[in-house]
Amino acid sequence: MSNAIENPVNASLLSDLDRQHVFHPFTALGSHERDGAPIVMTHAEGVMMHDSQGRDYIDAMAGLWCVNVGYGREEIANAMRDQAMELSYCHAFSSMASDKPAILAGRLIEMAPVPMSKVFFGNSGSDANDTQAKLVWYYNNVRGKPAKKKIIARQRGYHGVTVMSAGMTGLPGLHAGFDLPLSFIKHTMAPHRLWEGHGLSDAEFVAKLVDDLEQLIAREGADTIGAMIMEPVMGAGGVIVPPQGYYEAIQSVLDRHDILLIADEVICGFGRLGSMFGCQAMGMKPDLITVAKGLTSAYFPLSACMVSDKVWQVLVAGGDRFGAFGHGYTYSSHPVGAAAALASLDLLEKENLVEQAGRRGEHLHRRLQAAFADHPLVGEIRGFGLIGAIELVADRDAPKAFDPALKVAPRIVSAARDRGIISRALPASDSLAFSPPFVITEAQIDRVVEGVREAVDEVAAELKASGDW
């Protein structure tokens, strides 16, 4: 190995090394191979990231909606270090246990938004949602209902990328090229007002969404459907906040048909919506809850499935019928992950960060409204708590999207990044998302919105000049 590779101090060498050897997720393979120019981040603290060329950025996305307590928190780093020295690893198979996962599980059960009985630890949101689907299957096998296995998810929903989770995900870009979706996963309409409910009252919109679900259940047969999975506020699909009364109405349909509800709290959990869980903000009463990201603020890959007593009692009643429960990961109940989670939860509590996320969110929404409510390129401003999005449209009045080939949102993201702001273009339509760490200040939010406004104006001018708008 050359000395340069062992000690890659030079910024452009780092970028070249990355391009030559790293297979990037969610990256256009062809164009990246041809002319990708990775920005190599070297350090971060609070909400600020710094790259190898000395440029600074406000990370208005908290990574991928996950670094909730901010970068560089000594308390979490110390907890992880101490745990790694004390007990760096201990699995949880065959009744093995260690202290931190037990303490964390107890704490999660205590915090849960609806009564929960058990916690199953995993490594990522994707594998946790796979676990949930398997729990639903196991549950219905124990109940003697082997046909009740289909899963309902929503168009635009994001649940991960493992085969089952990608199947539940309702974004065509995650299915293309992978022989997905799966035949036993069915998608119903997303509560996306701009594209599905324009001009409708909340009540009319809820009725339309419920009707779509009822029709799907009638077509498939309720006795073939095991569960429905939903994000309280849909994240990657567009930061979609449902209309008033939506969850109550959906929940009553599910209850009537004996269909379990899985709340995918991977983004919303641990404060993003200004309450500890999204279920509290949205009034959901799930049987199963998935958490990840904010559980450790992404200091360690850790996820958890919370299981209600209703489901747990059935699983237990199955006893040893299928032998030992044949599911679990090498890293399930990882003690270093649990230590990171406990330290992150301590910070949330000690610094009142959940409440702060709610307040900062109000500021973000006020600023987004002030900057974009009258902007001709912006068709909708959405958000709840400290998560928000703007959707770019070719026509606001009779809503019309831009040709995806124009890459309007990605161009704005890039123009904003040139101004030191990291936001994110979402895959389903031309939306730009904001989901900063809870420690962002009001002044930093102002800088984010100002930078993005300049970026939107720049791209709007380009679209005018090229005759595309």
Site size toward ligand PMP (CB under 6 A) is: 15
Shorter beta-carbon distance to ligand PMP: residue 180 or 314: 180
- Using rule CB under 6 A, residue 160 touches ligand PMP: yes
Q: Residue 264 CB, nearest distance to ligand PMP (Å)?
A: 5
Shorter beta-carbon distance to ligand PMP: residue 235 or 451: 235
Q: Which of 229, 292, 357, 425 binds ligand PMP (CB under 6 A)?
A: 292
Stretch that binds ligand PMP, among 229-237, 314-322, 347-355, 433-441 (CB under 6 A): 229-237
Shorter beta-carbon distance to ligand PMP: residue 92 or 292: 292
Our measurement of the distance from residue 108's CA atom to the centroid of its chain's CA atoms, rounded to an integer in Å, reads 19
- Using rule CB under 6 A, residue 235 touches ligand PMP: yes
Residue nearest to ligand PMP (CB): 125
- Using rule CB under 6 A, residue 383 touches ligand PMP: no
The distance between the two most distant Cα atoms of the chain, rounded to a whole number of Å, is 69
Stretch that binds ligand PMP, among 89-97, 123-131, 386-394, 421-429 (CB under 6 A): 123-131
Stretch that binds ligand PMP, among 125-133, 218-226, 329-337, 398-406 (CB under 6 A): 125-133
- Using rule CB under 6 A, residue 190 touches ligand PMP: no
Is 156 within 8 Å of 427 (Cβ atoms)? Answer: no
Is 239 within 8 Å of 233 (Cβ atoms)? Answer: yes
Strand partners, 426: 431
Is 202 within 8 Å of 248 (Cβ atoms)? Answer: no
Interaction residues for ligand PMP, span 63-122 (CB under 6 A):
64
Is 99 within 8 Å of 128 (Cβ atoms)? Answer: no
Q: Which of 71, 121, 138, 158 binds ligand PMP (CB under 6 A)?
A: 158
- Using rule CB under 6 A, residue 126 touches ligand PMP: yes
Binding mask 29-68 for ligand PMP (x = CB under 6 A): -----------------------------------x----
Q: Which of 231, 287, 380, 430 binds ligand PMP (CB under 6 A)?
A: 231
Q: Could you tell me if residue 153 is left (phi over 0), alpha (psi between -120 and 50 degrees) or otherwise beta?
A: beta
**C-alpha span between 343 and 22 (Å, rounded):** 31
Mind giving me the DSSP string for 281-350?
HHT---SEEEE-GGGTTTSS--EEEEE-HHHHHHHHHTTTTTSS-----TTTT-HHHHHHHHHHHHHHHH
Angle between helices 335-350 and 74-86 (to 10 degrees): 150
Strand partners, 390: 381, 432
Nearest C-alpha neighbor of 190 from the set 209, 218, 169, 172: 209
- Using rule CB under 6 A, residue 124 touches ligand PMP: yes
Shorter beta-carbon distance to ligand PMP: residue 264 or 456: 264
Q: Which residue in this structure is represented by tokens 């060498």?
A: 13
Q: Which of 164, 266, 413, 422 binds ligand PMP (CB under 6 A)?
A: 266
Strand locations in 368-413 (E): 378-383, 388-392
Q: Which of 51, 59, 130, 264 binds ligand PMP (CB under 6 A)?
A: 264
Q: Residue 147 CB, nearest distance to ligand PMP (Å)?
A: 27
Which pair of tokens denotes residue 364? 């973000």
Mind giving me the DSSP string for 272-286?
TTSSSSHHHHHT---
Shorter beta-carbon distance to ligand PMP: residue 302 or 347: 302
Q: Which of 267, 342, 378, 421 binds ligand PMP (CB under 6 A)?
A: 267
Binding region for ligand PMP (CB under 6 A): 64, 124-126, 129, 158-160, 231, 235-236, 264, 266-267, 292
